[in-house]
């Protein structure tokens, strides 16, 4: 069972009729000639979420994405997500797969207590059959790995499990294909003090394989894709007011090196 999908605001055109994908292309072209209009930077953002898994440890998959025999009716029907379950899982914390904005609901004939998180670039995750109402409310900004609720068996369910769905602009994807290689959700922590939530830090990755960090004062070329992904995590983390992602000492040194104008190791 599925709550109705809505058109994501990230996928909508800007007031001037330029969508985000075209905008990022224009910014990349402008970087090549050293011209970066402020109006473009005000709307720029990275293009995809930084994913982690919905738990802080391995939980077995009990039903995958695709056609299956419905456990209640015995009919063959499409399963639009992945089910995770194990002995003793009732009440285990479910964590956001990426930063975004929460919406919560209840559907007795479907997902029971559930939460959806809207992420960057039209992506959305849904977490179904929670034991009770999610611990965060609609409109809450959450960080990757933040606690959303607890595993339960509410709604149309035959036992305690998490039903996870991942969509982009309304199209369903196999969660395991999206989360392949993603880390387990980390413990919440504090980002480096040099970072703020002022919305003035952006990432661009050009088709030529060059990454840029855009700050209010300058454009900084990034040394590697790993460093690009590090700053993507920072932006994800700073979308949330509580429980942001942990950064280790080496990562903080790399961040400071870039922001101080030196190339990190």
Q: How far apart are alpha carbons 93 and 148 in whole angstroms? A: 7
- Long-range residue pairs from 215-222, CB within 8 A, at least 24 positions apart, any chain: 215/259, 219/31, 219/36, 220/258, 220/259, 220/261, 222/258
Look up residue 10 and give its DSSP letter.
G
pLDDT in tens, 167-195: 999 999 999 999 988 888 864 444 344 44
Per-residue confidence band for 238, with pLDDT thresholds at 50, 70 and 90: low
Q: How far apart are alpha carbons 265 and 256 in whole angstroms? A: 12
What is the model's pLDDT at position 228? 80
Instruction: Say which range, 5-14, 133-142, 207-216, 219-228, has the weakest mean pLDDT.
Output: 5-14
Does the pLDDT at position 15 exceed 90?
A: no
Instruction: Say which range, 69-73, 89-93, 133-137, 261-265, has the weakest mean pLDDT.
Output: 261-265
Across all residues in the chain, what is the average pLDDT? 75
Instruction: Say which range, 97-106, 120-129, 158-167, 242-251, has the weakest mean pLDDT.
Output: 242-251
Mean pLDDT of 208-237: 73
Does the pLDDT at position 115 exceed 90?
A: yes
Does the pLDDT at position 257 exceed 70?
A: yes
Per-residue confidence band for 62, with pLDDT thresholds at 50, 70 and 90: very high
What is the model's pLDDT at position 170? 93
């Amino acid at each position: 069972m599925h709550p109705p999908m809505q058109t994501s605001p990230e996928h909508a055109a800007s007031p001037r009729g330029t969508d985000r994908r075209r905008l990022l292309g224009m910014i990349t072209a402008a970087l090549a000639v050293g011209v970066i209009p402020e109006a473009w930077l005000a709307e720029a953002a990275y293009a995809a979420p930084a994913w982690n898994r919905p738990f802080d440890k391995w939980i077995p998959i009990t039903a995958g994405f695709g056609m299956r025999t419905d456990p209640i009716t015995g009919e063959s029907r499409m399963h639009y997500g992945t089910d995770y379950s194990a002995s003793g899982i009732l009440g285990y914390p479910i964590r956001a797969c990426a930063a975004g904005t929460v919406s919560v609901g209840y559907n007795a004939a479907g997902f029971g207590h559930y939460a959806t998180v809207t992420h960057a670039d039209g992506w959305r995750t849904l977490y179904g059959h929670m034991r009770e109402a999610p611990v965060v409310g609609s409109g809450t900004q959450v960080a990757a790995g933040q606690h959303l609720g607890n595993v339960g068996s509410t709604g149309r369910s035959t036992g305690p499990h998490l039903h996870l769905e991942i969509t982009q602009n309304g199209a369903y994807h196999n969660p395991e294909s999206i989360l392949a290689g993603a880390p387990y959700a980390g413990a919440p922590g504090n980002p480096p003090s040099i970072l703020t939530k002022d919305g003035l830090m952006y990432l661009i990755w050009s088709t030529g394989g060059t990454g840029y960090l855009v700050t209010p004062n300058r454009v900084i070329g990034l040394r590697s894709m790993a460093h690009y992904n590090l700053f993507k995590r920072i932006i994800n983390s700073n979308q949330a007011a509580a429980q942001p992602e942990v950064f280790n000492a080496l990562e903080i040194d790399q961040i400071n090196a870039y922001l101080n104008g030196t190339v990190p190791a």
